[in-house]
Amino acid sequence: MSENPNGYSGEHLLETTNLKMHFPIKAGILKRTVGHVKAVDGVNLKVRRGETLGLVGESGCGKSTLARLILRLLEPTEGEVIFEGENILEYDRRRMLRVRRHIQIVFQDPYASLNPRMTVGNIVGEPLKTHRIEGNRKRRVQELLEVVGLNSEHYNRYPHEFSGGQRQRIGVARAIALNPKLIICDEPVSALDVSIQAQVINLLRDIQKEFDLTYVFIAHDLSVVKHIADRVAVMYLGKIVEIADQKTLFDEPRHPYTVSLLSAIPVPDPEKERQRSRVVLTGDVPSPANPPQGCSFHTRCPRAQEYCTEHEPDLIPQEEGAHRAACFFPVEEGQRIEEPATSTPYRAGE
């Protein structure tokens, strides 16, 4: 199954360069474009083969749009999506269909993402049909159902006969049907009950090992991401504001937004909760149609200085090279977020 037309064997399976999605806002009778919602605004990402890249952020930060851009379900305004060394945005329909085999998605809502009129067998078998995979389709589907922890006798049942967790398993079976290389998981557990979440998280980890999969795992819940991701990227208003390996990001976050996001999450431990000092951000996320000048986080940032309102930070490498944060005054180790930052902007202009 691992035929590789380009003989590509680079370290990065997926790469996006300066990816932008600006949705036009139309108004008036003439439906003239009066502005743009900058849902994704210049995202550079590299996803290594076999890793799980966690993508976190609040609602409206552009994480789901980014997923759709990678799958080319949306045509980006600007930028490149490079899969196995080739820019798939230049592909025609036929070549696109071929590459889609290797990029699959698991959706958030297990109720809306399965057609209620199709049997489980047809749902899971549909990708095999679309891509004209030869062989005994029924047997293959039954195998897949067993891989995801369902019963092969479920073949002829309909989605409504299953619980949320089981439906999500069906969605996972469909995603792995074509032996893909990359699976985009768009909030795969956030619609599930707590006791069911762990089942699906463990399943995703198990099949990753078994089938050598690469994940882009989108979630708003940082505790879920901590459990599954090798590296984590934090998004805010269409941009990546911090990226690092899992341990570094959770132990030594640099960007004030990451710090406050981490401190906002309640921990199921009463003693720790009593001792924690929480950074409560004021205000709401600004509208992506009209993002603030300079650093897009400065309106809510407790450390913001004059400088931040005028200049836009790049993803600046921190002490450890792979750790990057888009902040002029990053939170230093052991420092509280409210403490005044150093007076000179960190590595500005480098």
Binding site for other proteins (CB under 8 A): 58-59, 163, 165-166, 193-199, 201-202, 220-224, 226-227, 250, 260-273, 278, 280-282, 284-285
Q: Shortest Cβ distance from residue 175 to other proteins (Å)?
A: 20
Three-state SS for 129? helix
> CB neighbours (10 Å) of residue 108?
20
Task: Closer to other proteins by CB, 11 or 333: give it.
Answer: 333
Q: Residue 162: what residue type? A: F
Instruction: Write the CA distances from 48 to 53, 90, 213, 216, 228, integer angstroms.
Output: 8, 22, 11, 10, 15
> For the chain, how long is the longest CA-to-CA vector?
68
Question: In the complex with other proteins, which residue's Cβ is closer, 30 or 280?
Answer: 280
CB nearer to other proteins: pick between 135 and 283: 283
Shortest Å distance, C-beta 268 to other proteins: 4
Radius of gyration of the chain (CA): 22
Q: What span, in angstroms and rounded, lies between the C-alpha atoms of 80 and 16?
A: 6
Residue 204 or 315: the one with the smaller Cβ distance to other proteins is 204
* Shortest distance (Å) from residue 271 CB to other proteins: 7
> Which residues touch 7 (CB under 8 Å, ≥6 apart)?
none
Cβ at position 302, least distance to other proteins in Å: 12
99 φ, ψ (degrees, to nearest 5): -75, -25
Measured from the CB atom, the residue of 282 and 343 that comes closer to other proteins is 282
Backbone angles phi, psi at 254, to 5 degrees: -105, -40
Shortest Å, Cβ 62 to other proteins: 14
